[in-house]
Amino acid sequence: MDNFQRQFTMALLGYAVQRDLDPEELCSASSISFKALKNDPAYSVSAAQTELLWKNASHKTGDFLFGLHFGESLQLAALGVVGQIIQTSATVSEALSNACALVKMTSPIFDMQIHHEESVFTIYLLADEEKATRFPYSYRHLADCLLVFVLHEMDGLLLEKVKPQQAGFPYFLAEPYEYARVFRCSSLGKTTQLCLVFSARHLDIPILSANYELQQVLLKKIGSLIQPGTSKQLWQQKIFNYLLTNSYLKTVSLEAVAYNFNTTARALQRKLKEEGSSYLQIVDAVRKKLALNYLDNEHFTLKDISHMLGYTEPSAFLRAFKRWTGLSPTAYKAKKQ
């Protein structure tokens, strides 16, 4: 059986690296063997160690919504789990039912259940109260993380940005505007359990196999496309890598990137300007990098690639590609052959 809890811990450390944390130091401070975690597929991280990991990551980044922002970046990192769900599911309803079983394998604190009504369905994250009390950092950060991850996987299953009708939390939200941004929902309720409410119309929609193929292409490509890090990365490098690893289905907004790095959009623009760059230039560079690699895959049409890169019209993509290379995509592929 796959060690999903280990995969999740590795994903968390990968995100910590994006936030300028040293993974070995973070593991050491959390009593985790970084070497064993990397090299031993059977290595187990205890609940107490996980509690320290969440606590240290949050404190060292100064981001007390670390779990929420980690959830935003988790689409690609967790696709080893999500891929299994997609492969064994025909509809969104089946995928969500299969996901319920995997949540428990990822964390002993939470279980996931789905409640169906005539016009809506509600996804509940149910916490083990004893474990939630014993491990408060794990509970709070993982609660935010899993809930936003559920939302983003709904995006992946439906190939659209899904807006829940309501998001419910059993705890006080110190920054409700940030939660509203992340969950695309202004209806944030105080509820007894964590939950997301969606329209029932989504349930019977079939999952497109091309969606899973796209995820696999991205997983294979991302590692080679990411710019190598240094002890002190430039902001433009950090943002390039962040946009690349969050490129699936959408163009990430400047505000979302700024929140992820615990700063403001204006401050981030200023830092990029000091480096002689801009957010739009980095977005353009990421799109170019992805476009050149998507063209290597025979399964995707130019219309598919245009959509994946966030262009509303294929003609806009064609103009951008010619600006990048001086050639049309067809001519570029012919020249490479």
**CATH code where residue 75 lies:** 3.90.1520
Distance CA 183, CA 334 (A): 43
Both tokens of 177, joined, read 């505007």
pLDDT tens across 158-196, in order?
767 789 999 999 999 989 999 999 999 989 999 999 999
User: Quick check: 287 and 309 in contact, CB under 8 A?
Assistant: yes
Mean pLDDT of 112-137: 92
Question: What pLDDT score does 210 carry?
Answer: 44
Q: Is residue 68 part of a domain?
A: yes
- The tens digit of pLDDT for each residue in 29-82 reads 999 999 999 888 889 899 999 999 999 999 999 999 999 999 887 754 444 555
Distance CA 258, CA 106 (A): 28
pLDDT bin (cut points 50, 70, 90) of residue 262 is: confident
The answer to pTM > 0.75 is no
Q: In whole angstroms, give the CA distance from residue 162 to residue 152.
A: 8
Is the per-residue pLDDT at 213 higher than 60?
no
Domain extent, residue 24, equals 4-202
Q: How far, in Å, CA of 153 to CA of 78, rounded?
A: 10
Residues 117 and 265 in one domain: no
Boundary-marking domain end, from 169, 202, 235: 202
Q: Name all contacts of 96-102 with Cβ < 8 Å and 24+ positions apart.
A: 96/123, 96/203, 99/150, 99/153, 102/4
Chain position carrying tokens 């890598």: 241
Phi, psi at residue 169, to the nearest 5°?
-135, 140
Mean pLDDT of the chain: 82
pLDDT at 247 over 70: no
Residues whose CB is less than 8 angstroms from the CB of residue 177 and which lie 6 or more positions away in sequence, other chains included = none
DSSP 4-61: HHHHHHHHHHHHHHHTT--HHHHHHHTT--HHHHHH-TT----HHHHHHHHHHHHHHH
Which tokens is 269 given?
């623009």
Residues 20 and 53 in one domain: yes
- Residue 198 shares a structural domain with residue 230: no
Same domain, 131 and 267: no
Decide: residue 145, CB within 10 A, 0-12 exposed, 13-18 middle, 19+ buried: buried
